[in-house]
Structure 1
Amino acid sequence: MAERLPIDDVMAEVVAAVQSHGRVVLQAPPGAGKTSRVPLALLAAGVEGQIVMLEPRRLAVRAAAERLAEGLGEAVGGRVGYVMRGERKMGRGCRILVVTEGILTRIVQDDPSLTGIGAVIFDEFHERSLQADLGLALVWEAMGALRPDLALVVMSATLDAAPVAALLDDAPIVTAQGRAFPVDVQWLDRALPPRARLGDAVADLLVQVVPQTTGGVLVFLPGEGEIRQVAAALTGRLPPDCDVRPLYGALPFAAQRAAIAPVVLGRKVVLSTAIAETALTIADIRVVVDAGRARRARFDPGSGMARLVTERVSRAEATQRAGRAGRVAAGTAWRMWTKGEEGALPAFAPPEMLRADLTGLALELAIWGSADLAFLTPPPEGALAEARALLRDLGALDAHHRVTAHGRTLAALPVHPRLGHMLGVAGAQAAPLAALLEARDPLRGAGVDLAQRLAVVRGDAAMPADRGAVAAIRTEAARLARGLKDGPTLSIGQMAALAYPDRIALRRPGDDPRYLLSGGKGAAMDAGDALAGQRLLVVTDTDGNPREARIRQAAVIGMDELRAVMNGRIRWHDHCAWNRRSARVEAVQQERLGALVLEERAWRDATPDAVAAAMLEGVRQLGLRPSAAADLLRARVALVPDMPDMTDAALLATLEDWLLPWLDGVRTAADWARFDLFPALRGMLDHGTQQRLDRAAPPHFTTPLGRRIPIDYAGDAPAITLRLQEMFGQTVHPCVGNTPLRVTLLSPGHKPVQVTQDIPGFWASSYADVRRDMRGRYPRHPWPEDPRLADPTLRAKPRSS
């Protein structure tokens, strides 16, 4: 009889929820047995059709398939099979199919009705991978539209089940207890030095821990490189009965199986990546050493694709790792950080949706025909927009975000859409380059030349290299080349340009090797690099600096080679622009690739409209140059309600609306200095508005003699200036609207004798003093006793009178 597992206590409840609701969320800690029991229980309960179970990793797929087949007393390939990228093992009678996440996406996209499938199980959903989130959204929509009879099970070890259940229309939640023995958690007394080599520190701790403990030891490390470091550092330092076994995704399956299998004699020390956290049962483990690091996929702006980065683990991950020490007996877990540092760890690892490159997701959504899916974590709009822009650039989407035939081809290739585009055009010859661009750098620190790296991968050059990385690249290249046709013979630079049309780099003028990328960003490399003098490059990797990135990998491309592969993207553009140095509009015709100007020539017949539009930037630089008439108009407009805003800020912000039609023939700073703004400003006012302005704030005052003199609106009150005698007979003070004019009265010699805003009051008071003083100075001019009764005049008495 099979060993009883904690999940068995709730299995009837799980099956009942599936039968009554068609869906269930199962919470069960690692070791509860959900992976090996739930598919078999659904099969026994009579679920019709195939049961597809999703696993996050290739190793977990094989291990789960083997345990399930063993539960049926069979070998894998009968009623239990598996499919993953590049490998499949399933027969015609397969009832339980274990797949990796990308395989499920293809299944749903190829047949949204999920013909022949009766249930879909999402295992280890707490890892929140991008593909799992997408797969759940697709399956859930397919259930609602086409397959209400489909059974859906979401299984998680640590995730809060309530949000998932709410997403699935309040699916039932079933919780299973785990099977765990006490685990004694130990921390470091002091934090590791910032520059300490992690592999050496882990090895030193293991040398202390192993002699003090019994049973198997499981060491969590971020990646293959650290596993190799620790294995090398342990050589000859552990007891003879200790067998060191690596465990990581790229390891051959036989070696993976050896790491999982129990030892017959002695002890094993398993050096593993995060694949040992869940979904795997590793026999005999009593001790866990957690290096406190995890390698996650994050969008890397330097490479334009998702890259693995090393980060601190979350508290949930640390708890899960420590629990591995208590599966078979009481155990001990060492954490390679201090207890004080633990509070700074994040509670959970962030969903991949929030940190990954969304190009593949955007392509899958376009193929599905809708982005309006029920995601547990919706994709960020900004990242999704960037992904769609790249897909349009690759020809995978049209202008309306609809998938093209080329886009469907890219989705079928097991690589990033950038590399899929390259493979689709260049064919099998590009497979080594595609594998190289997806892998870790085998020549780290050897300059930026991509050709050197490809030569090592092809075996054409002997250089110090990471042999493990080179072997993995060659294996992946062979796999990618299968099924690809031969394309046109292309250089490395041409193939790279197909994948990175936004990373074509043109050297800027100057001694420093600084480049402008076709996508508009800047990049630079060390002056001593062998490629520093090249005019054109294709940049495939940078440090991601948003201001000016440092180039880490690039390929040389010639102009003729660039034209051959980018012919449809290179176009001539008529271009008028304001040159700040020469202070004039310059009209040129430019051959461009994105932001790059490949060639330039004078545009001798530039259209007046193009010149005028470019001159607007000159106006913004030079500033407004108002005339006296323009100043007067703006001052009047400012006094009247509901008039256009003619302040400097408003005018400069709306140049296209009011100034552009008036700039014919203006193309230099000198032309602008001679330009009169008044007609353009006056043109902002329609006829009715002009009449209202003239009534409320007239430009002129008509004197009693009928002479029109301008009103000065520049001060705090509108003002006029005129000879005193010209105001004789004026018994009412002149106003603009309700505002009295400030009147400056001049002597016959044009000297101010009075400033007033009350002419009748002046006649009745101060005028007598002015008359007494002025009569002696200007005897030939009239100085009547009562100016209110006198006629206005500008004449003087004849000398003979």
Structure 2
Amino acid sequence: MSLPIEDVLDALTGAILQDGRAVLQAPPGAGKTTRVPLALLPHVTGRIVMLEPRRLAARAAAERMAETLGEPVGRTVGYRIRGEAKVTDATRIEVVTEGILTRRLQTDPELTGIGCVIFDEFHERSLTADLGLALTLEVREALRPDLALLVMSATLDAGPVAALMGDAPVVTSAGRAHPVESRWLDVPVPKGQRFEAAMADLVARAVKESAGGVLAFLPGEAEIRRVAGMLDLPHCEIRPLYGALPFAEQRAAIAPSPGRKVVLATSIAETSLTIEDVRVVVDGGLARRARFDPGSGMTRLVTERASRAEAAQRAGRAGRVAPGVAWKLWTKGADGALPAHPPAEIEAADLTGLALELALWGDPEGQALPFLTPPPAGALEEARDLLHGLGALEDGGITGHGRRLAAMPLHPRLAHMLAVAGREAATLAALLADRDILRGRGADLTLRVRALADPAAFGLGRGAVARVSQEARRLRRIAGDDLRLTPAQHAALAYPDRVGLRRTGDAPRWLLSGGKGAKMDEADALAGERLLVVTDTDGHPREATIRQAIAISEAELRAIHGNWIGWVDLCAWSRREGRVRLRRQERFGAIVLDDRIWADAPEGPVARAMLDGVRELGLRPSAEAARFLARVRLLGLFDTDEAALLDSAETWLLPFLGGIRSAEEWRRFDLLPALRARLDYSEAQRLDTEAPGAFLTPLGRKIPIDYASEQPEISVRVQEMFGVTRHPAVAGRPLKVTLLSPAGRPVQVTDDLPGFWAGSYADVRRDMRARYPKHPWPEDPREADPTLRRKSRK
């Protein structure tokens, strides 16, 4: 059957022959996966390696090309995926999953015997594809200018990729093999209706109103199972299709069916696969993506709206072999709100594996490699920190242990576990690398180990555990010698940052050694355990819900991580306790295994911790200290704003905090000596001369001067100022004087005492003599002696 891609094969071949590189844009169903490698074969010296994002797609593409040649797989066309290979010395086209190319590049950077590398479905922007392209571009630049390079995509914007490849020519294939009609909802799904119910209704409608096989896109396995349970289609064969499904069941889903078939699939069916009897697509409009939080070191699966590019890919599945229909679980008006493209995996994924590959390549920070999207610096730094903790990196460079981890087909955590613990850890490594075989049936990892040994006892079919058991056997062959460790110790080797210590209280909550929190359902069998190794969570950045864990004893933890357990002296201000907290703690990361009072803490650290408390509590100056600050402010000797004082508190306050350890003691602390000490001798002399703290009355009494208002002032009894003929002043300004009656009530405010004596004093005298006849009220106060006594008795 003629396919649209054939119209551009000559142009594509010419671009590869002339430039050695090209970008091919071809819509879904154009035939690029199976026709392009065969078209290039006569023009390439050496082997063609084509990358596919998924094992099922790699296998299916190789089988289809071999069928076109009338040969068995493994002769001219073969494939290589994790744990399986069908290639011979005669193989010229090798279809591989993306990680296979990375391993080959790391062991043989010249790609000996390979003449062309093809990146298929590059629009998916997987992390391994981005890394593989960056490495291959560097190899072509430095070692293999003859290496042909082709990037193929259905929906990717070709411009940036072509520019990254040195302005590679872009070849575009127009049109699908067959037209696809899009059908949207007339109104949005009602808010109260569950997604699965709405999807089941739309699938049933599509079956009723359209002809041919149906391919429905759902975000995950759980949704597939729920929708399958809701469908009542007695004349249809309902087939699930997702990555964790055994290969035999995956093949059955894509194989032609004698009757009408409904395939409920994840994004695994978006690209590369041709399900020959499918004429109808039902798109739920959702996609499940892994989001890595570098702050928590955890990956969280989130369900998001699919992008327009993904929707176009899905719709294209309906037009592979005949005209089709694409039903969409959203309105036509909602199309514009969809994002244009999904995010590149490198922007949101766990970068630990990437960081290890970069270190092995000799570019730990990835700055020299031509990435289409550079790895985020923060996430890459977190990844390197973990690798340092695993012993894979040292001083930024890869160690011998790191090289061993990179050679293993596992996440570096699990590779470290397998490398250290040996063959006995293979079962746990295989379990942790795969989907949970007992999802929703408690968190205990030991149950999973037992289920592998006896699936029937846990209600599991042999197929449910066959893939994990097969992987465990494969890992045993590459593991080292056994150390005779427990499964809990195996887990702790892989997850040293997720050893959890139960918090106080009844609720099952743990603090993890990496500093994050985790919780568990109260009914779980592990809810009462003091120490856990948490191997899987929902990834919540604040307090994650534990999905898988294993109990570990303190003795088991000390046996493998004793070098990382040590005593820490804690001297810090506790806001909750309102005092300096002095403890000696034995810690493993953020968790405290033993906690004691630090009785002999030196005063220096205690004072610094108390200063943190002062900054929280505020200075709280006494009335006398406040007057001192007002005097300083008047002369501008230093900045008296509280924020400025606290900023510089190490220099003037810290030396005076000895013995102060609590908020209660701080409330009784006299701030004035510390404030005075800020002034040198000349400044102190100037302050006492120009802005004295008190006014000396004629009777020798010191009355505090209030500097808080705009004009310094005092309050004093009228009789105590008799005989004063010159108005007092401070800092070159008249002092505001409030004159008081014998009862202490204001009778006059003045900044011109001689003027008051000569003027309004007569009126005050007349009024005061009637009220206070026992006190002296002379006619001329300027000539009278100051007094605080009453008139003498005659």
- Report the TM-score range of the alignment, normalised by the length of the smaller protein: 0.7 to 0.9
Tell me what 1:24 maps to: 22
The C-alpha deviation readout for 1:172-210, integer Å capped at 9, x for no partner, is: 322111333233334567776779787887777667765
Tell me what 1:599 maps to: 594
1:460-475 matches, within 5 Å, as: 462-465=457-460, 468-475=463-470
Gap change, CA 1:393 and 1:756, over 3 Å in 2: farther
For the 8 Å contact 1:221–1:291, the answer to whether it is kept is: yes
After TM superposition, the score normalised by the length of structure 1 is 0.84
Shift of 1:794: 8.0
Following the alignment from structure 1 to structure 2, what is the Cα–Cα distance between the partners of residues 272 and 547?
A: 32
Q: How many residues align?
A: 789
Structure 1 alignment gaps of length 5 or more: none
For the 8 Å contact 1:192–1:337, the answer to whether it is kept is: yes
Whether 1:432 aligns to 2:430 is no
3-state DSSP class of the match of 1:329? Answer: coil
1:152-551 matches, within 5 Å, as: 152-187=149-184, 215-223=212-220, 237-238=234-235, 247-250=241-244, 256=250, 259-260=253-254, 270-299=263-292, 306=299, 311-336=304-329, 345-367=338-360, 368-372=363-367, 373-398=369-394, 401-459=396-454, 462-465=457-460, 468-551=463-546
Whether 1:57 aligns to 2:54 is yes
Shift of 1:26: 1.7
3-state DSSP class of the match of 2:182? Answer: strand
Tell me what 1:104 maps to: 101
1:63-142 matches, within 5 Å, as: 63-69=60-66, 75-78=72-75, 80-92=77-89, 94-114=91-111, 116-142=113-139
Shift of 1:478: 2.0
Q: Which amino acid aligns with 1:60?
A: A
For the 8 Å contact 2:294–2:378, the answer to whether it is kept is: no
Tell me what 1:755 maps to: 749
Gap change, CA 1:772 and 1:91, over 3 Å in 2: same
Gap change, CA 1:480 and 1:695, over 3 Å in 2: farther
Tell me what 1:665 maps to: 659
For the 8 Å contact 1:23–1:152, the answer to whether it is kept is: yes
Shift of 1:250: 4.7
Following the alignment from structure 1 to structure 2, what is the Cα–Cα distance between the partners of residues 196 and 749?
A: 81
Superposed CA RMSD in Å reads 4.4
Q: Which amino acid aligns with 1:396?
A: A
3-state DSSP class of the match of 1:515? Answer: strand
Question: Higher mean Cα deviation, 625-634 or 142-151?
Answer: 142-151
Gap change, CA 1:474 and 1:794, over 3 Å in 2: same
Tell me what 1:6 maps to: 4
For the 8 Å contact 1:703–1:727, the answer to whether it is kept is: no
Tell me what 2:619 maps to: 624
For the 8 Å contact 1:221–1:294, the answer to whether it is kept is: yes
Tell me what 1:713 maps to: 707
Tell me what 1:565 maps to: 560
Shift of 1:92: 4.2
Whether 1:575 aligns to 2:570 is yes
Shift of 1:59: 2.0
Shift of 1:308: 5.4
Shift of 1:759: 4.2
Question: Higher mean Cα deviation, 207-216 or 545-554?
Answer: 207-216
Question: Higher mean Cα deviation, 314-323 or 477-486?
Answer: 314-323
Shift of 1:591: 0.9
Shift of 1:163: 3.0
Shift of 1:157: 0.2
Following the alignment from structure 2 to structure 1, what is the Cα–Cα distance between the partners of residues 189 and 601?
A: 67
Shift of 1:118: 4.1
Gap change, CA 1:501 and 1:689, over 3 Å in 2: farther
Gap change, CA 1:766 and 1:115, over 3 Å in 2: farther
Following the alignment from structure 2 to structure 1, what is the Cα–Cα distance between the partners of residues 278 and 793?
A: 133
3-state DSSP class of the match of 2:27? Answer: coil
For the 8 Å contact 1:705–1:792, the answer to whether it is kept is: no
Shift of 1:124: 0.7
Following the alignment from structure 2 to structure 1, what is the Cα–Cα distance between the partners of residues 462 and 304?
A: 25
Following the alignment from structure 2 to structure 1, what is the Cα–Cα distance between the partners of residues 611 and 709?
A: 30
Tell me what 2:34 maps to: 36
For the 8 Å contact 2:774–2:791, the answer to whether it is kept is: no
3-state DSSP class of the match of 2:410? Answer: coil
Structure 2 alignment gaps of length 5 or more: none
Shift of 1:101: 1.6
Gap change, CA 1:720 and 1:461, over 3 Å in 2: farther
Question: Higher mean Cα deviation, 611-620 or 629-638?
Answer: 611-620
3-state DSSP class of the match of 1:10? Answer: helix
Whether 1:742 aligns to 2:736 is yes
Shift of 1:705: 10
Q: Which amino acid aligns with 1:355?
A: A
For the 8 Å contact 1:124–1:279, the answer to whether it is kept is: yes
Tell me what 2:547 maps to: 552
Gap change, CA 1:704 and 1:201, over 3 Å in 2: closer
Q: Which amino acid aligns with 1:619?
A: V
Question: Equivalent pairs: percent with the same residue?
Answer: 61
Q: Which amino acid aligns with 1:592?
A: R
Shift of 1:699: 4.0
For the 8 Å contact 1:302–1:545, the answer to whether it is kept is: no
Following the alignment from structure 1 to structure 2, what is the Cα–Cα distance between the partners of residues 21 and 754?
A: 101
Following the alignment from structure 1 to structure 2, what is the Cα–Cα distance between the partners of residues 657 and 465?
A: 70
Following the alignment from structure 1 to structure 2, what is the Cα–Cα distance between the partners of residues 197 and 751?
A: 78
After TM superposition, the score normalised by the length of structure 2 is 0.85
Q: Which amino acid aligns with 1:391?
A: L
The C-alpha deviation readout for 1:318-372, integer Å capped at 9, x for no partner, is: 3322222223332333445565665654443332233322332333334432332
Gap change, CA 1:686 and 1:457, over 3 Å in 2: farther
Q: Which amino acid aligns with 2:713?
A: A
1:613 to 584, 608, 617: 608
Gap change, CA 1:231 and 1:482, over 3 Å in 2: farther
The C-alpha deviation readout for 1:686-734, integer Å capped at 9, x for no partner, is: 6676677667745456789999865321334212456777696765762
Question: Higher mean Cα deviation, 79-88 or 697-706?
Answer: 697-706
Following the alignment from structure 1 to structure 2, what is the Cα–Cα distance between the partners of residues 439 and 327?
A: 32
Gap change, CA 1:720 and 1:541, over 3 Å in 2: same
Following the alignment from structure 2 to structure 1, what is the Cα–Cα distance between the partners of residues 320 and 279?
A: 8
Gap change, CA 1:293 and 1:720, over 3 Å in 2: closer
Question: Higher mean Cα deviation, 482-491 or 48-57?
Answer: 48-57
Following the alignment from structure 2 to structure 1, what is the Cα–Cα distance between the partners of residues 662 and 245?
A: 69
3-state DSSP class of the match of 1:624? Answer: coil
Following the alignment from structure 2 to structure 1, what is the Cα–Cα distance between the partners of residues 542 and 672?
A: 43
Gap change, CA 1:316 and 1:25, over 3 Å in 2: same
Following the alignment from structure 1 to structure 2, what is the Cα–Cα distance between the partners of residues 153 and 406?
A: 35
Following the alignment from structure 1 to structure 2, what is the Cα–Cα distance between the partners of residues 775 and 38?
A: 118
Following the alignment from structure 1 to structure 2, what is the Cα–Cα distance between the partners of residues 34 and 676?
A: 83
Gap change, CA 1:39 and 1:329, over 3 Å in 2: closer
Question: Higher mean Cα deviation, 213-222 or 584-593?
Answer: 213-222
Gap change, CA 1:473 and 1:311, over 3 Å in 2: farther
For the 8 Å contact 1:227–1:271, the answer to whether it is kept is: yes
Question: Higher mean Cα deviation, 751-760 or 23-32?
Answer: 751-760
3-state DSSP class of the match of 1:568? Answer: helix
Following the alignment from structure 2 to structure 1, what is the Cα–Cα distance between the partners of residues 759 and 388?
A: 84
Gap change, CA 1:744 and 1:466, over 3 Å in 2: farther
The C-alpha deviation readout for 1:206-254, integer Å capped at 9, x for no partner, is: 6776577655544444455666677788899227xxx666654455556
